[in-house]
A and B are shown apart, each in its own frame.
Chain A
Amino acid sequence: MTDTAELDLLRDSVRGALSGFPEALGLGRGDDLAPGAAAAAMGIATAQGWTAMLLPEALGGLGLGFRHAVVVAEEVGRTLTPGPLLANAVLLPALAVAAQADWLNDLASSVGAGEETAAICFSGDPNGAAGRRFVEHGAEATVIVSLTRVGEGESPSSLVRRLDSPRLTPRRCLDPTCSLAELEGPESVRDGEGCRLSPGATADVLGAAQLWIAAELLGVAERAGAMSIAHATTRRQFGAPIGANQAVKHRIADDYVLRRNAAVVLADAAAAWDSLDDDRLLLAHAARASATAAAYSATAHCIQVHGALGFSAESGIHLAYKRARRLGCAFGDDAASRAFVAARLVAKTAA
């Protein structure tokens, strides 16, 4: 089977598995996220093997790569599927590989098998001195892991630790498809369940996050783009579909170009990641920056194209915009990714 055909099959199966979303979010009339929606999504993820996808075979995983993972992530984004997939399907396997510590291996194995659900708090300081600390899906998780940047600059090292009875306060998330908790007070670490990651290992873990986030953002952008096209084709004003106006048509065309860009840059970055290419970190950050541009633009234009309908909560059009904005500031952002890319470019000319 060719590579593309295999990925197409995977995409079809992910679409089938997630066909209940976004309706199952229960957000149709502007209400809160349906209780159990995130847990249901994680149940699907475990049953489909997505939580074990990136986990090495030695830890009971499937040992697949990012060429597969980004297909899943794109569909998760497109369908606005909730749940801590980034933490469980991507970051724990990456942390386990990076840290080579028994406690992390055990945790990643249990998560892969669906026995535990983790949430990960990423921050600049373990005790909150560097700003408030938030944990996506912290309230539903059975395990809270803290990943803390140590040192400034472009190549920080980090601490990864399993927290003991963390103090979590529920907060409303900008993105209604995500539940959020704030971590307060000093972090107490479970005995023996903490380790330090080198700058290289930290960059690898964060790089993996960039690829997943890029793919989810691309999916969100695809969703918003398709909605804009559908509305611009059917909604009539002044006797013609609004998409006949260049002011509308050209925005939609520009968004399409941004999505196509993000799609090729992401596919290339995922392949580079799996083949351990020297440029894999550069390309992962390039993918994140490209996908963020595509998602910000498509989701904002989607609201504009829909007019007042776009601004109403009932329509659900705002959900893609809010999800893009949440993903946009998770584990870095587009500006940080471009800074990373520029640093590599400048360093390369020196070499």
Chain B
Amino acid sequence: MDLHAFRAEARSWLTAEVARLRVEFRGVPFTDLVLRRTFEDRLCGAGWSGLGWPAEVGGRGLPIEFIAAFLEESARAGAPKGVNLIGHGILGPTLLLSGTEEQKQRFLPGILSNTAVWCQGYSEPDAGSDLASLRSRAERDGDDYVVDGQKIWTSFAHIADWCFLLVRTDPAAPKHKGISFLLVDMKSPGITVRPIRQMDGGQEFNEVFFDRVRVPVANRVGAENAGWGLAMAAASFERATYFIPRLVQMEEELRDLVAESREIRRNGRPACEDPLIRDGLARSFLDVQALKLHARAMLAAAARHEQPGPEGSFIKLLWSESHQRLLELALALLGPEAVLGPEEPTAQRRRHWQYDHLWSRAETILAGTSEIQRNIIGERVLGLPR
């Protein structure tokens, strides 16, 4: 298939569907979970899921450039983010790589059609950045494991049908060697989900409690105690494309911010004449420019089937911190209007800057904190001592 034609087809589908959404959900922000689920269901129904998965499991077998193009077009069209990205981007590829035939047949169709939403049971109250110290236990009892423990910061657990869970199956082994990877039905008896409110007003993540939850041994992916390797491999699947929609978004945000700076007035003059605002805009341009070029190089390496290197760490660090700077600048630009909470509609502005700004505080924490990324750069890229 021709990339150009694919991109054009994606663009026209996305533009039309985003327009339809705006009509159907008039006044509802694109962060709304029902809106997001509706859009993702339609996207999957129209055959835009499993783009890179092999045809024999129902995917489209497309190379990475096509996936990148679709992500770019989604971001350009302003499409809402899905609620099952974890299923599409992490669990699906994990099953394709390490699942049994039975597991693939059982779980992949639900992801492709978006009828099964997944959540990722990794972090625990005492195992955040130091994930391998997790303590949730799974003990064998016949053909089942019995799971006890607690997970936290589990995104979408309150709407998820399934959870993939890291649990300790050998407490005596060194911490990376006693962990297994289980697939758990969220309707199982013994699971309690407690939603956690976020500082941006949203509610995506949760605490999940497991009290003697029975999970069939057949739902274990990979060998017993081999879960850590699976989790590490899973973290690398999306590395080459993870930043594409985020960078397109940042590029558009910067463009919108420049436009706002021409319209918003400070001291009786357009804000874009203020040297400090201008300096901030230029600094954001430098960040965006570097990020674009890094992401392009990373995608090109992935297209050549090179193993992803630790570059992802500095792109994550740079993206999250420069995105925060851009959105801090947006608030500075808004002046007195920056006092409005994220719940207030800001129709006269190009974006919901207050909401985006608050959300950006999560970006230096999720998917490996800035501190962890700096450790990785220092130790794995530059060879500094641990």
A binding-site residues for B, Cβ under 8 Å: 229, 232-233, 240-241, 243-244, 246, 249-250, 252-254, 256-257, 260-262, 264-265, 267-268, 283, 286, 289-290, 293, 335, 337-339, 341-343, 345-346, 348-350
Determine the chain B residues whose CB is within 8 A of the CB of A267 once the complex forms.
Answer: 293
Partner among B286, B371, B374, B379 whose Cβ is within 8 Å of the Cβ of A341: B286
CA of A91 to CA of B11, assembled, Å: 46
Interface residues of B in 160-176 (CB under 8 A from A): none
Main secondary structure of the interface of A (DSSP, over half): helix
Determine the chain A residues whose CB is within 8 A of the CB of B382 once the complex forms.
Answer: 229, 252-253, 256
Determine the chain A residues whose CB is within 8 A of the CB of B317 once the complex forms.
Answer: 253, 257
Q: Does B262 contact A (CB under 8 A)?
A: yes
A286 with B385: CB separation less than 8 A: no
B290 with A346: CB separation less than 8 A: no
Q: Does B120 contact A (CB under 8 A)?
A: no
CA of A350 to CA of B261, assembled, Å: 11
Interface residues of B in 212-234 (CB under 8 A from A): none
A290 with B290: CB separation less than 8 A: yes
A350 with B384: CB separation less than 8 A: no
Q: Does B268 contact A (CB under 8 A)?
A: no
CB-based nearest B residue for A225: B382
A250 with B374: CB separation less than 8 A: yes
B binding-site residues for A, Cβ under 8 Å: 255, 258-259, 261-262, 272, 275, 278-279, 281-283, 285-287, 289-290, 293-294, 297, 314, 317-318, 371, 373-375, 377-379, 381-386
Partner among B279, B375, B381 whose Cβ is within 8 Å of the Cβ of A342: B279
B371 with A246: CB separation less than 8 A: yes
B314 with A345: CB separation less than 8 A: no
CA of A69 to CA of B258, assembled, Å: 33
Determine the chain B residues whose CB is within 8 A of the CB of A342 once the complex forms.
Answer: 272, 278-279, 281-282, 285
CB-based nearest B residue for A262: B290
Query: Given A229-B382, A244-B385, A253-B374, are A338 and B293 neighbors across the interface (CB < 8 Å)?
Result: no
Partner among B272, B318, B377 whose Cβ is within 8 Å of the Cβ of A261: B318
CA of A346 to CA of B371, assembled, Å: 35
B385 with A243: CB separation less than 8 A: yes
Query: Given A335-B279, A346-B272, A346-B278, are A286 and B285 neighbors across the interface (CB < 8 Å)?
Result: yes
B205 to chain A, nearest CB (A): 27
B278 with A343: CB separation less than 8 A: yes
Query: Given A256-B382, A345-B258, are A264 and B294 neighbors across the interface (CB < 8 Å)?
Result: yes
CA of A346 to CA of B385, assembled, Å: 45
B384 to chain A, nearest CB (A): 4
26 A-B pairs (CB sep. < 8 Å): A229-B382, A229-B383, A229-B384, A233-B385, A241-B384, A243-B378, A246-B374, A249-B374, A249-B375, A250-B378, A260-B314, A261-B318, A265-B286, A265-B289, A267-B293, A268-B293, A286-B286, A335-B279, A338-B282, A339-B275, A339-B278, A341-B285, A345-B282, A346-B262, A349-B259, A350-B262
CB-based nearest B residue for A257: B314
Query: Given A338-B282, A341-B282, A342-B278, are A249 and B384 neighbors across the interface (CB < 8 Å)?
Result: yes
Query: Given A250-B371, A345-B282, A349-B255, are A257 and B289 neighbors across the interface (CB < 8 Å)?
Result: no
CA of A83 to CA of B84, assembled, Å: 60
A343 to chain B, nearest CB (A): 7
Query: Given A265-B293, A342-B279, are A249 and B383 neighbors across the interface (CB < 8 Å)?
Result: no
Partner among A229, A232, A243, A260 whose Cβ is within 8 Å of the Cβ of B294: A260
CB-based nearest A residue for B287: A261
Partner among B283, B297, B377 whose Cβ is within 8 Å of the Cβ of A264: B297
CA of A329 to CA of B364, assembled, Å: 34
Determine the chain A residues whose CB is within 8 A of the CB of B374 once the complex forms.
Answer: 246, 249-250, 253-254
Determine the chain A residues whose CB is within 8 A of the CB of B293 once the complex forms.
Answer: 264-265, 267-268
CA of A262 to CA of B289, assembled, Å: 10
A261 with B384: CB separation less than 8 A: no
Query: Given A244-B385, A286-B285, are A253 and B377 neighbors across the interface (CB < 8 Å)?
Result: yes
CA of A254 to CA of B282, assembled, Å: 20
Identify the 10 closest CB pairs spanning chains A and B, nearest first: A338-B282, A261-B290, A342-B278, A264-B293, A249-B378, A253-B377, A243-B384, A341-B282, A253-B374, A250-B374
CA of A244 to CA of B317, assembled, Å: 20
CB-based nearest B residue for A232: B384
A342 to chain B, nearest CB (A): 4
